[in-house]
Amino acid sequence: MKMLVVLAFALATAACNKDTEAKPGTSAPAASNRFEITVTEKGFEPDDIKVPAGKPVTLVFNRTTDKTCAKEVVINLGGDKKIEKALPLNTPVEIATTFPTAGKLAYACGMDMVRGTLTVQ
């Protein structure tokens, strides 16, 4: 009888673990590469963000005040390339992108008065 209980427990445990194990050909979810940036009266907070090179990231901007000129964000990617997004009040704005190479990139308001830095590493 004792052996039967042990066997039943082992089978139940195996069945539960089977549903949670990674299936062949799949990988575990990647660590979150989501970066929150708040626009306040002081500017972008934080104003220096470290992001990984060559991996997808999501920058989430949330403007919480009208007392700023940072009502849009411009990320300078080098050359003539840039990402521009309006930042409506109290509305998170997601920018999903991949920065292919290491280095420093600037981001700023549309008037280039409020600034921040992306350190791609």
DSSP, collapsed to helix, strand or coil, labels residue 98 as strand
- Tens of pLDDT, residue by residue over 20-49, are 444 444 444 455 799 999 999 999 999 999
Compare 92 and 16 and report the one with higher pLDDT. Answer: 92
Amino acid at site 44: F
Q: What is the pTM of this model?
A: 0.72
Residue 66, judged by CB atoms within 10 A of its CB (0-12, 13-18, 19+), counts as: exposed
Residue 53 has pLDDT above 50, yes or no: yes
Check if the beta carbon of residue 75 is closer than 8 Å to that of residue 83: yes
Residue 93, judged by CB atoms within 10 A of its CB (0-12, 13-18, 19+), counts as: middle
Domains and CATH numbers, the chain: 34-120 (2.60.40.420)
